[in-house]
Structure 1
Amino acid sequence: MSSFLGRGWSFPPRFDPRTKEAVMVADETDIAESLHILFSTNPGERVMLPNYGCDLRRMVFEEANEQTVTEIKELMRKAILFYEPRIVLNRIEAQLVDPLNGKLEIALDYTVRGTNSRHNLVYPFYLHQATHPVRA
């Protein structure tokens, strides 16, 4: 039983049409959604946690080069270290998959502390655009 990993609203928030209740997620799914929220939150957006977030938005108009990729990886690494204690980050890799459109895919390999199970997450990030992709 891994219910100690957490339980929360799905992201983006959805409601079950039958029960009219918020759709809840738990365990590893909750962690993955929590990571997406962390990466897409700008520090200062949460009143009670003003430092929470990843500050990736300031990187949107940066040049798509190795220095920018390294800085993005470090922002994400620090955000995970401070705000997602349920995991250990094993590796973070970034690959520019669409240079013309500035699409960067950031692959995380992490271990869930409570279950010692490994997981992967790919977070798409776009340089030279004013918005981040919305996850369905």
Structure 2
Amino acid sequence: MSAGDYPQVGQGWAFPPHWVRPVPGPASVVTDHGEERIERSLQVLLRTLTGSRVMRLGFGSGVDRYVFEPRTPDACYRLADDVRRALLLGEPRVIVDSVEAVAAEDADDRVDVVIAYRIDRHRRPNSLVVPFYLAGAR
């Protein structure tokens, strides 16, 4: 997909910021756009602690409080609810279809949060899996 497919997304610096320098010429900052920009934005939103940004205290998801929680169905439900709320408040460019937190079968301390979203009403659905590590049964 090209940048023209998602005009509402825009183009901006890649995260984390880094530069490339072609052999003959000045260095330039790496940018991203389209689906890649949205996916990185979602990951930044979910990995940011609520209150850690000085100019946007409400930005973030608050999922850091689940780090030492046991991996129970209740904790998975609350984690999915917090992720859903953070996406609705913090990322207006996507339409969230569903958020589901499921315990990973191959790790005792991991919960995979599966996010089904669309960039706008007329595009195909996308999904993102973000692993979170909770205090598992040891």
Please classify the TM superposition score into its range, dividing by the shorter chain length: 0.7 to 0.9
> Does 2:47 match 1:40?
yes
Matched, 1:14 2:18: yes
1:86–1:114: 8 Å Cα contact kept in structure 2?
A: no
- In the alignment, the residues of structure 1 paired with residue 43 and residue 107 of structure 2 have an alpha-carbon distance, to the nearest angstrom, of 24
Q: 3-state SS of the aligned residue for 1:52?
A: coil
Q: Is the 2:71–2:134 Cα contact (8 Å) retained in structure 1?
A: yes
Equivalent residues of 1:3, 1:26 under 8 A apart: no
RMSD: 1.9
1:106 to 109, 113, 123: 113
Unaligned runs of 5+ in 2: none
Deviation at 1:13, TM superposition (A): 2.4
Percent identity between the aligned chains? 29
Q: CA deviation at 1:61?
A: 0.3
Q: Does 1:118 align with 2:125?
A: yes
Does structure 1 residue 87 correspond to structure 2 residue 94?
Answer: yes
User: Deviation above 6 Å: which 4+ runs of structure 1?
Assistant: none
Aligned residue identity for 2:124: S
CA deviation string 1:91-136 (max 9, x = no partner): 112221147541111111111126533111110111129xxxxxxx
- Cα distance in structure 2, aligned partners of 1:122 and 1:101: 17
Query: In 2, distance between residues paired with 1:52 and 1:25?
Result: 21
Q: Amino acid of the residue matched to residue 65 of structure 1? A: T
Which range moved further: 98-107 or 79-88? Answer: 98-107
TM-score for the superposition, normalised by structure 1: 0.85
Q: Which region of structure 1 is more displaced relative to structure 2, 37-46 or 19-28? A: 19-28
| Bigger CA radius of gyration | 2
CA contact (8 A) 2:8 2:93 kept: no
Q: Which residue of 1 aligns with 2:77?
A: 70
Structure-1 separation of matches of 2:125 and 2:82: 22
Q: Does 1:5 align with 2:5?
A: no
- Using the alignment, how far apart are the partners of 2:66 and 2:8 within structure 1? 35
